[in-house]
Structure formats: C-alpha cells, structure tokens
Structure 1
Amino acid sequence: MKTLHFYLTRQVVASLVMTVVVFTFVLLLGNILKEILSLLVSRQATLGIAVEAVGLLIPFVLAFALPMGMLTATLLTFGRFSADQELTAARAGGVSLLSLVTPILLLSLVLCGVSAYINMEIAPRCRVAYKELFFRVGANLITARLPERTYIKDFAGCIIHVGQNRQNQLKDVLIYVLEDKTNVAHIFRAPKGAMRVDQTNQTVIVDLFDVTGVLALEDGKQMFTHAGRMSVTNKLEGLAKELGKPRITDLTFIQLRDELSDLESRLSAPKSGRTNSVAELRELEKQRSQLTLPLRVQMHRQVAFSFACFGFTLIGIPLGIRVHRRETNISFAIALGLVLVYYGFLLVAQALATRPEWSPHLIVWIPNFLFQGIGAVLLWRANRGL
C-alpha cells in the first residue's frame, strides 16, 4: 500500500509542478504583453524594472495557477492510472479506490492552506507592490484617474466609491457626505458620471448625473431626494496620493477586515438628538449592508477560493478515471472547462458586489459546494465500480 501511495503521490506532484509552470507562464504572458512589454518598447522602464515586475506578478498568477494545476494533475495521473489498467490490478489485489486516493486528498488540503496564504496575504501585497512599481515609473500618471472599487477618502468632507472607470467615464458612483469628519450624514448615488481636470486651478472635478440620495434631517428623520446633477472637487495632489492606494481586490484579508470595521463604525455611529422609526432603521440597515457589501464579497472570495484545490481534486480523480485516456490534451480541455465554470461564479459574484438582494458573498461559495458535492458522489460511485 505504501508503494502505491508513494507512486501516485509522486505522479501527481510531478504533474502538478509541470502544469503549474505552464499555467503560470500563460497567465504571466498576458500581463507581460499588455503592460510590461509596452513600457520596455517606449523606454519608460529598464530591463531590471521589467524583471522585478514579472517577479511581483508570479505570486498573483500563482493564486490562479495552483488550483488549475492540481485539477489538471489529477486528471492526467488518474487518466493514465486507469488507461494502463493499474487501477484494475490494484482492485484485484483488494485495494479500494478510496484508500488509494487518501494521500492525494491530504495533499489537496495542504495546498488549500498554501492557497489561503497566497490569496489572503502574499498575492494582494505583491499586486500592490507591482502597481506601486508602475506608479513610480510614471505609467499611471499620464492622466489623473480615479481608482476603481476603492473608498477614496481624500475629497474634503466626503468619501467616494467608483464602481467602474473607463477613460474617466464613471459608473455606479457612491458619495458619503461626512458629519464632523467621522459620521456619514448623507448618501448619494449616481449610475454614471465623469471626471475632468482643471489644470489652471490644479483641481479634479467629478460630475455626477441622475443623482439620488438619502438626507439626514435635523429632527432625526430621513428624506429621499433626486438631486439631478452634482459635482465634487479635490486638489490634484490629493488625488495623486489616492492613485497609489490599493483597490478592494488588492487588499489583504486583514486590511479588508480593518476597512470593513472602519466603514461600519462610520455608518453606525449614533447621531446625537436623533431618533428614527422602525421603518427608517430598517432602511438604514439596508443601506449599511449595501455599502459594506463589496468588502464582504472580497473577504468571502479570498476564503472560498482557497478551497478550490480540494474541490478540483475531488472531482478530478473520478473524472480522470472515467475519461480513461492517456492524452494530455483531453485532460487540459476538461480542466479548462471546469475552471471556466468555477471562475464564472466568482465573476458573477464580483459583478453583483453592490447588489445585496442577490447575496453575492454567498455566490462565491457555490462552486466549492458544487464541485465538492459532485466530486464526492462521483468518487463514491467510482469506488463501488459504478
């Protein structure tokens, strides 16, 4: 039994190293061609800076390459194991499939721990360092630009959150007007807006259209209003500081937790002399949930994605046996299809990060439960020879 365990583990690890290297190279290639190569051609960056940028990108792409590599490795290993009749020989010797795959499942759990450390700590920090490197060489300072999915706190008396920024055309903009520089008094939302720079006065102007908002009145009541159009301004040097600030998707788990705690304290801080009805309190709670949801979604995504290796292993073992093929291209095709399904749920959750009615923080867990559930059933059937 130990010999079989060592043989299978060695095969999986060898395939894992190969596939992770391949996927890492492919994912790196896209970033190199898109960003780094253009800087080298335009002589904005030296070869040393380019090498440093690639090194900082590796942990970021490794977060995606590791689960994909584990899935492909199990498909390749158990496809060959079944095609060469080695599984049949093991069963004839009284060895069950479950006992054979135990070390592989344990290996996948270890990789879940490695993935958690990469997803929640290493990858975000390296991604931020990568962007800061580009910031230093001037790649992001060609034009002033509001960062996406970041709580921008440098505008006087307010906090701004931009859902999407395409060449300074903004979408899904939230503005929290502060009271006493700490508490959120008014909330405004605009489906679209635009950013422009006043070079004469060295200011950045954000114009918002079709604005709706919730105003906190002096008597403690709230009033819903349609403001139409509004603008906020900020000094250009103030925005330059925000350009280097990481987006929500580039924060570590601890930073996300601290940011969430800070935002919740701002939103829930009591207003002196104000009372609200039950309906108003419910509406306030709904607004707080909506405003903090992007942070919660990212926290859940980091944790849920860390378990991808286990789900991919559970479903990869029985599928490899069922495919019963030695060809590498077949295994890569199956792995690619499964990866697209898994990442599809994550993309949907990210797109719905400002829609609490869809519970996007729970959507990120669906692929884990789906792959682990189906994989467990298929593995049980394969163990029984069904």
Structure 2
Amino acid sequence: MVSKKLPSFYSLKSLLPFTIMDRYLASELLPTFFFGVGAFSSIGVTIDSVFELIRKIVESGLPIDIAVQVFILKLPYFIVLAFPMSTLLATLMTYSRLSSESELIALRGCGVSVYRMVLTAVMMSLVVTGLTFVFNEQIAPAANYQAANILDTALRSDKPTFKQQNIFYPEYQNDTQPDGTKTRILTRLFYADQFDGKRMKGLTIIDRSEKGLNQIIVSESAQWNGSQNVWDFYNGTIYFVAADRSYRNIVRFEQQQLKLPRTPLILAEKSRDYGEMNISEALDQLEVERLGGDRQKIRKLEVRIHQKFALPFVCVVFGLVGAAMGSIPQRTGRGTSFAISVIVIFSYYLIFFMSGALGQAGVLSPFMGAWLPNFLFLGIGLFLLMRVAKR
C-alpha cells in the first residue's frame, strides 16, 4: 500500500535537496541503520573480546571491573567495522521493502527518477563515512591502546613490550660518481643481538661514514645517554680500517661514548600496533621503518595507511550497492535482505583481505591493494543502478 505522504512527492520540490521524500526515506533508513550498528558491533566484540576476557577472569584472576573497562574500550573499534555493514543492511532492507510495497513504483510514476531516490541513501552514506573516519582516526586507536595498557598492567604481563632479538638498522646515503650518476651506498650498519628494555647487548657496528677510514665496533652492551645524546658502549673493541682495507689501529675500552643515531633504539622499543595508531602516528612509524630498510614491513604499513582512508568510503559504496539492489522490483522479506547483506559483506571483506595481501606482497601497489575492493563494488553498484533506471 502506498504511504499517505506520497502525494507530496508529486511536486517539483522532489527535485530539490532534502525534500519531504528525503525525510521520509531517512526516517525509514535510520532505525534499521542503528539496529545494524548495535547488532554487528555486539556480535563482533562478543566473538573477539568477551570470550577472551571471561577466560582471563577465570584463569588469570582478571578483576571484573577491569574486564568491563576493557570491554567498553574495545567497542569503538567494532562500531567502526559495523558502520559500513549497517549502511548496507539499512539501504538494502529499506529499499527492498519500499519496492515490494510498490512505493518506489509510485514514485517513478510521479516522475521521480531512480537516481534521485537512491541519492538520499548515498547522502546518508556520506554522513556515515565522515562519522566512520572520526571514529577510526580519533576514538578507536586511542581506546585500543588504552585497553591494551590496562590489560597488561592488570595481568602484570611478562610479555615483552619491545623487540627482543636481532635489532638491525642500516643507514644509507646517496653518493655521486665521477660520471655524475648517483648510487645508494651503505654508510653505517647497526646490529644488536638483544634488547632488554634498557640496554642493547651483543653489538656490532660497521661505520663507513668517514671517507678513508672505516670503523668496526664490537661491544658487549650499549645504552642510550639521553642527557648527552650519545651512546654509552661497554666492554668492547674498535677496529680502525684504512682505505686500503688494512688494520690501522685497535682500541679496547671498558666504556666509550660514540655519537650515533638514536634510531636503533626507536626500532627496538615498543611501537603501537596498527589498530592503536591514527594516520599521523602510522606515518611517523612508516618513516622509522623506512630508516630500518625492511621492505616487507614498509609495504605492510603503506597498505594499512591507505586502508585507513579506504575503509570509511566503504559506507558510500555499500549505500549505493544496497539502494540499487533494493530498488530492483521484487518481493523479498527482511530475512532475504539480511542474507543478501551477509553475502555481500563476506564477499567484500574476502576481496579486501586478498587485495591487501597482494599489496603487501608487491603484486599490487599499496594504493590498489587498499582501494581495489571499493572500486570493484562501486562498479557493481553503478551497473545495478543503471540497469534499474532503464526498466
């Protein structure tokens, strides 16, 4: 049956932004959207966190009030994931219901195009995109980081919060050859066997930064001296190597201060997990990883940074796909719409993880690794929308 509000759509006002039609569609979309946010975020946090927290309460004696705090702090991350899924669910269920009750047919009969009807869903999806970006950038990373710290403190975790073994830091510079070409050469190589949170142990440093003289430093341990911005090395030997590769001198020491970069310490110290960093922090971490020269870590972080931008725009893509699919003349119930939503969501995230892995492996660029699923589903949404508009 056609809603009593539909005669108002006959006017030319339906062509203008935020008409009565828009308010009507928004009133139908929002309840389903909020239901989806609550349902999807609850399922996610239950599967990922609740069972693990209960296990820690029983086995490790985690206080219940701490578990509740961690649970609340974990919610923003799953709300971020729920926003796109809820957008798809709301648009698909709402437009499917309106289509099955012939309300969309009545609108088209009054001269309202499919594009104009779907525009309402897309505009709402843009608002959700902004909300997702704020949550994903400002709220979820800080909450995840705080939850991890609270949990570690409460359990007095023995898990190391730093890189323990094989700290490796190469430093390069561009060298201009006589023929004018530039080559990238290794000027310094820093290696340590272990880091206990305070001192590096088992160090070997090859220093080629001075022309005509190379140094090889072997030391039992070293510690960063923040007051003087130098490294304090203990119980070691410095080998001076001349340009002709012959030993020039050997110096043994019990303690020696050397002015070397602090970057190896930054690499060894705990850095936030990807889910605990916003874009600015991730870019800072990327600079550190670039100094370390590990291409695999660099590409992984580059893909994750692009995904920080790509994820919020999934809301627009899902809003378009859901509205276009729902506008197809059909008679489907809520159960069918929900099942279709689950299939679309599963398909999207399957491609999302696969393309991300290909981006990290170097098969795709980091940009394409993050954005490829959005482009694919945007194409599907536009294709469906044009097919419906031609009917």
TM over 0.5: yes
- 1:308 corresponds to 2:334: no
For the structure 1 residues 205 and 14, does the alpha-carbon distance in structure 2 shift closer, same or farther, using more than 3 Å as the test? farther
Q: Secondary structure at the match of 1:306?
A: helix
For the structure 1 residues 332 and 176, does the alpha-carbon distance in structure 2 shift closer, same or farther, using more than 3 Å as the test? farther
Distance, in Å, in 1 between the alignment partners of 2:194 and 2:210 is 37
| 2:169 maps to amino acid | Y
- 1:355 corresponds to 2:348: no
- 1:384 corresponds to 2:377: no
Task: Give the CA deviation at 1:58.
Answer: 0.9
In structure 2, list runs of 5 or more residues that go unmatched: 1-13, 173-185, 212-219, 224-264
Query: Are the aligned partners of 2:80 and 2:135 in contact in 1 as well (CA < 8 Å)?
Result: yes
- 1:137 corresponds to 2:130: no
Match of 2:120 among 88, 96, 103: 103
Percent of matched pairs sharing the same residue: 25
Residue 13 of structure 1 corresponds to 30
Residue 176 of structure 1 corresponds to 169
Residue 231 of structure 2 corresponds to none
Deviation readout 1:62-88 (Å, 9 max, x if unpaired): 111010000011110001010001111
- 1:126 corresponds to 2:143: yes
For the structure 1 residues 244 and 137, does the alpha-carbon distance in structure 2 shift closer, same or farther, using more than 3 Å as the test? farther
For the structure 1 residues 187 and 314, does the alpha-carbon distance in structure 2 shift closer, same or farther, using more than 3 Å as the test? farther
Distance, in Å, in 2 between the alignment partners of 1:26 and 1:381 is 35
Residue 281 of structure 2 corresponds to 255
Distance, in Å, in 1 between the alignment partners of 2:106 and 2:355 is 45
Query: Are the aligned partners of 1:97 and 1:382 in contact in 2 as well (CA < 8 Å)?
Result: yes
Query: Are the aligned partners of 1:349 and 1:364 in contact in 2 as well (CA < 8 Å)?
Result: yes
Distance, in Å, in 2 between the alignment partners of 1:301 and 1:115 is 13
Q: Secondary structure at the match of 2:155?
A: coil
Deviation readout 1:12-51 (Å, 9 max, x if unpaired): 1111001111101100111234321112223622222122
Distance, in Å, in 2 between the alignment partners of 1:339 and 1:290 is 28
Query: Are the aligned partners of 1:345 and 1:363 in contact in 2 as well (CA < 8 Å)?
Result: no
Query: Are the aligned partners of 2:356 and 2:369 in contact in 1 as well (CA < 8 Å)?
Result: no
Match of 1:93 among 73, 94, 110: 110
Match of 1:72 among 89, 101, 123: 89
In structure 1, list runs of 5 or more residues that go unmatched: 160-174, 189-194, 207-214, 221-231, 268-286
Residue 292 of structure 1 corresponds to 298
Match of 1:370 among 368, 376, 379: 376
| TM-score (ref. length: structure 2) | 0.68
Distance, in Å, in 2 between the alignment partners of 1:146 and 1:196 is 13
Task: Give the CA deviation at 1:346.
Answer: 2.8
For the structure 1 residues 132 and 12, does the alpha-carbon distance in structure 2 shift closer, same or farther, using more than 3 Å as the test? same
Distance, in Å, in 1 between the alignment partners of 2:200 and 2:301 is 26
Judge which range, 366-375 or 341-350, deviates more: 341-350
Match of 1:23 among 40, 46, 71: 40
Q: Secondary structure at the match of 2:115?
A: helix
| 1:382 maps to amino acid | V
For the structure 1 residues 186 and 10, does the alpha-carbon distance in structure 2 shift closer, same or farther, using more than 3 Å as the test? same
Distance, in Å, in 2 between the alignment partners of 1:353 and 1:178 is 26
Residue 210 of structure 1 corresponds to none
Q: CA RMSD in A?
A: 3.7
Distance, in Å, in 2 between the alignment partners of 1:316 and 1:17 is 16
Structure index of larger Rg: 2
Q: How many residues align?
A: 306
For the structure 1 residues 233 and 124, does the alpha-carbon distance in structure 2 shift closer, same or farther, using more than 3 Å as the test? farther
Distance, in Å, in 1 between the alignment partners of 2:45 and 2:28 is 26
For the structure 1 residues 333 and 234, does the alpha-carbon distance in structure 2 shift closer, same or farther, using more than 3 Å as the test? farther
- 1:334 corresponds to 2:340: yes
Distance, in Å, in 2 between the alignment partners of 1:8 and 1:354 is 41
For the structure 1 residues 216 and 313, does the alpha-carbon distance in structure 2 shift closer, same or farther, using more than 3 Å as the test? farther
| 1:44 maps to amino acid | G
